A and B are shown apart, each in its own frame.
Chain A
Amino acid sequence: MTALLEVEGLKKHFPIHKGVFSKVSGQVYAVDGVSFSIGRGETLGLVGESGCGKSTVGRTLLKLLEPTDGTIKVGGEDITGLGAQAMLPYRRRMQMIYQDPYASLNPRMTAGEIVGEPLIVHNIGTPAERRERVAGLFERAGLRPEAANSYPHEFSGGQRQRIGIARALALNPELIVGDEPVSALDVSIQAQIINLLMELQDEFQLSYLFVAHDLAVVEHISHRVAVMYLGRIVEMTDKRSLFEMPLHPYTEALLSAVPIPKSSARGRKRVILTGDVPSPINPPPGCHFHARCPYAMPRCKTDVPALREVIPGHFASCHLHDGGVKVPLGAAA
């Protein structure tokens, strides 16, 4: 699998302004040095709790936000420093699906206009060809063709998400960033959209960056999963290894916190973390997770653990594995 997208040391800091002269009084370290790659036809799931920076990663790599540092390469070409005009050809190759289909569709445009708009922006085809293309996209996304003349408020949440998907597909992109694309939907509708996304991926060899907080959904749709905590990736591997052998204590806690819809799940032993996610304005020194970590050692408070390949293909940033791989994590040293 050749890498379609390569991200290296990506940082996005937001300055905090204060006072009459908007003096910069601090930084929100939303994304603080994130590296990963996505192959063609591959889904990388990005999970973490609110405020961990997962959505900011998605937006920054589409350059909807200007990265503070790091490089973003698409098909081997560096797009980090490109301006709006130079970005245009790359925009065709990278699209986004948003969480809230209510907020992301223009209420004054019909569904057909919404789906066809990217074709107009990029000057593709004649009006007749565009109409045909829109009809094809509607069919592929599971919408009735006559729905093209309806406005967004006339659709249900699931159908609106299908409109968002049809629009994202309009330019035949190679990469789609989905920012919590199914979180706002009811479970029975969620399954329809997940299935649609997987079918489209197989059909068009799409690459996905699937950003979500629901681990079960991410494990289902992804090939590999990256876990983020407070602006950094703490673990990244194929989904099976992540589930069966988490190497980071945060991943372990996250997996055990997910409720399982089975009768046998009752009374299951779990790791319950104490406290909340710290603020990304003044993240704790050393390992960001040390204050909530059940296995924290003195050095975790001072030394930042690097994300390294602990086992081939399995990356983790935790001092527990410094003297060799330690599995399970709870075992006494």
Chain B
Amino acid sequence: MNPRQPAPRVMNGTAPESPIESAQTVLQIEDLQTHFFTPVGVVRAVDGVSYALKSGETLGVVGESGCGKSVSALSILRLVANPPGRIVGGAIRFEGRNLLEFSEPEMERIRGNDISMIFQEPMTSLNPLYTCGKQIAEAVALHQGLSKRDSWDRAVEMLRSVSIPEPERRAHAYPHQLSGGMRQRVMIAMALSCNPKVLIADEPTTALDVTIQAQILDLMRALQDKYGTAIILITHDMGVVAENADRVVVMYAGRKVEEANAAELFDNPGHPYTKGLLGSIPHLDTAARTDTKRAKLNEIKGMVPSLFNLPQGCSFAPRCGLASDHCRNHKPPLEEQRPGHWIACWHADRVLGGVAVGAA
């Protein structure tokens, strides 16, 4: 198994120039294609996705299960299991160098050091046989070449920086002895222990209760301000994105369908899917005020299409109220409809103009 991937640049003319100046860009994903080769067919989990990340910013990547948001993130660290998965095209540029051309030992120096990751379920990502302190110290010793003693001290210091009470004592604790919120703090401490330039957070708070979620997101923001880490925040929770991301990428069926500043995206969603998604979430404030007649939520009819046989044209067409024959036959290109606001929809101008996105 050769971990090195050829990196043909398949520019299909639809991948946009990044709206971000490359001078500040730490990580740039260009036309990434990650496919899974299964006995029953090829799953195009990520099918030509591009996005860029500036230092110090938080990029939200949202979408429903199976849209490819996690696979695109795992591809950045080349952690997609091969077989069945393979990165078949595109480039991942970290500080100008294409990670897809790196050898495995070179990649190991990047993982956890320059780019690190937090996963959804800390219990499955922490080793149950080692104490939390040892697991953090191991990463520090490996990447920063610190002595045993110094790396342990660094681990304790990191545990303190993520607000774990009594870090000297907790460093000796095993993962099962900690609560879910504490474990997620340990994961964050470990991920940040080598001062990474990029932190990929894959549903970091989904398994946590809301009050703990608020604590963890608060902590991530504080650490970002302190260290200037760029964060890719992958989540299905539009509320978490609205309150934490600077820019947002919306994914659907393996593709990016919309990208904009967070404020622009939430105020003027330009893709029927984004608009439908925002309309289908109950809002706490409005939900509370509809006490006489409970409003019906806007549904998006049907469900996410199977990645084995995606529709020929726009993947969202079967569920879209605006879909025309043109949509069903031709994939819409991603175009900059407003400054910094990219939308892949033939009817983007109508959606931006406020047309109702009714059910199909």
Interface residues of A (CB under 8 A from B): 49-50, 156, 158, 186-192, 194-195, 198, 213, 215-217, 219-221, 223, 238-240, 242-244, 253-263, 265-266, 268, 270, 272-274, 276-277
Binary contact track B244-285/A, C-beta < 8 Å → 1, others 0: 100000000000000000111111000000001110111111
Q: A217-B282, A262-B266 are in contact. Are A240 and B243 (CB under 8 A)?
A: no
Which segment of B119-127, B128-136, B295-303 sits at the interface?
B295-303
- Name the residue among B244, B297, B298, B303 with the largest chain A CB count within 10 angstroms: B297
B282–A216 touching, CB < 8 Å = yes
Q: A220-B294, A263-B262 are in contact. Are A270 and B284 (CB under 8 A)?
A: no
B214–A272 touching, CB < 8 Å = yes
A257–B214 touching, CB < 8 Å = yes
B64–A187 touching, CB < 8 Å = yes
- B18 at interface, CB cutoff 8 A: no
Which segment of B71-79, B82-90, B232-240 sits at the interface?
B232-240
Per the bound structure, the CA–CA distance linking A259 and B242 in Å amounts to: 8
Contacts of A260 in B (CB 8 A): 239, 242-243, 283-285
- B288 at interface, CB cutoff 8 A: yes
A220–B287 touching, CB < 8 Å = yes
B210 closest partner in A (C-beta): A257
Contacts of B267 in A (CB 8 A): 263
A235 to chain B, nearest CB (A): 14
A224 closest partner in B (C-beta): B291
Contacts of B242 in A (CB 8 A): 259-263, 265-266
B296 closest partner in A (C-beta): A195
- Pick the contact of B303 from A50, A189, A215, A238 — CB < 8 Å? A189
B261 closest partner in A (C-beta): A263
- B156 at interface, CB cutoff 8 A: no
Contacts of A272 in B (CB 8 A): 211, 214-215, 218
A-B contact list, 16 entries, CB within 8 Å: A49-B209, A49-B212, A187-B238, A187-B280, A191-B298, A195-B297, A223-B291, A243-B284, A257-B213, A259-B237, A259-B244, A261-B242, A272-B215, A273-B211, A273-B214, A276-B212
Q: A186-B304, A243-B288 are in contact. Are A261 and B239 (CB under 8 A)?
A: yes
Contacts of A186 in B (CB 8 A): 64-65, 236, 304
Interface SS of A by simple majority: helix
Contacts of B290 in A (CB 8 A): 220
Contacts of A192 in B (CB 8 A): 299, 301
B221 to chain A, nearest CB (A): 10
B214–A270 touching, CB < 8 Å = yes
- B181 at interface, CB cutoff 8 A: yes
B211–A191 touching, CB < 8 Å = no
Interface residues of B (CB under 8 A from A): 64-65, 179-182, 209-215, 217-218, 236-244, 262-267, 276-278, 280-285, 287-291, 294-301, 303-304
Beyond known contacts A158-B303, A195-B296, A263-B263: 6 more, CB 8 A cutoff: A188-B300, A216-B287, A223-B291, A238-B291, A259-B237, A262-B266
Per the bound structure, the CA–CA distance linking A198 and B240 in Å amounts to: 27
A187–B303 touching, CB < 8 Å = no
Per the bound structure, the CA–CA distance linking A217 and B280 in Å amounts to: 11
- Pick the contact of B280 from A190, A215, A239, A256 — CB < 8 Å? A190
Per the bound structure, the CA–CA distance linking A260 and B276 in Å amounts to: 16
Contacts of B301 in A (CB 8 A): 192
B269 to chain A, nearest CB (A): 11
A229 to chain B, nearest CB (A): 10
Per the bound structure, the CA–CA distance linking A276 and B210 in Å amounts to: 11
Per the bound structure, the CA–CA distance linking A217 and B211 in Å amounts to: 16
Per the bound structure, the CA–CA distance linking A262 and B294 in Å amounts to: 21
Contacts of A243 in B (CB 8 A): 284-285, 288-289
B280–A188 touching, CB < 8 Å = yes
Per the bound structure, the CA–CA distance linking A259 and B282 in Å amounts to: 12
A256 closest partner in B (C-beta): B214
- Pick the contact of A276 from B179, B218, B266, B303 — CB < 8 Å? B179
B278–A261 touching, CB < 8 Å = yes
- Pick the contact of A213 from B209, B263, B282, B298 — CB < 8 Å? B209
A216–B283 touching, CB < 8 Å = yes
A219–B287 touching, CB < 8 Å = yes
| Interchain residue pairs A-B with the least CB separation, the first 6 | A259-B239, A243-B288, A220-B282, A191-B280, A261-B238, A49-B209
A254–B211 touching, CB < 8 Å = yes
- Pick the contact of B291 from A189, A216, A240, A270 — CB < 8 Å? A240
Contacts of A274 in B (CB 8 A): 215
Contacts of A258 in B (CB 8 A): 210, 239, 284
Per the bound structure, the CA–CA distance linking A233 and B288 in Å amounts to: 19
B64 to chain A, nearest CB (A): 4
